Amino acid sequence: MRQKFMISKDGAKSTLKISEWAIIDRELKKANAPSIKKRDFSLIGEETYDQKAVLRSISIGQEAVIGTLRTNNLFPIQPYANKIAETVMTLYDSSDESPVELFFDDVDLLSVNEK
């Protein structure tokens, strides 16, 4: 499955938002990555977090961030959760409030396991 996560912080609202998108169209599952367009992804979940809770977990460490970010509606697998947590930590370490997009393809996980 191909997924992307949009991560954005809103300083004015003191929130962090993570949106999970995936390609669910069977015709696109084998498409080459460069040919995939934003419109090919469907929103499958979204969570908004209180900034104080996120900052508290960042002060504890990456595993705490993962624990804070995982919910019943958003529960990425461990390799993706690690990257999302790293990105959130970097985002809060920066003054830049630009959204960050992470792209994942399960095929990459299979090729790593085969090595």
pLDDT digits (tens, 9 = 90+) for 69-115: 999 999 999 999 999 999 999 999 998 889 999 999 887 777 655 54
Q: Which domain holds residue 77?
A: 2-110
- The tally of domains found in the chain comes to 1
Beta bridge partners of 48: 17
The whole-number pLDDT of residue 109 equals: 77
Pairing verdict, β 100-105 and 15-22:
unpaired
The whole-number pLDDT of residue 34 equals: 46
Is residue 31 one of the residues assigned to a domain? yes
Is residue 29 one of the residues assigned to a domain? yes
Is residue 87 one of the residues assigned to a domain? yes
pLDDT tens figures, 5-63: 999 998 888 999 999 998 877 554 555 554 465 668 889 999 999 999 999 999 999 99
Is residue 90 one of the residues assigned to a domain? yes
Is residue 115 one of the residues assigned to a domain? no
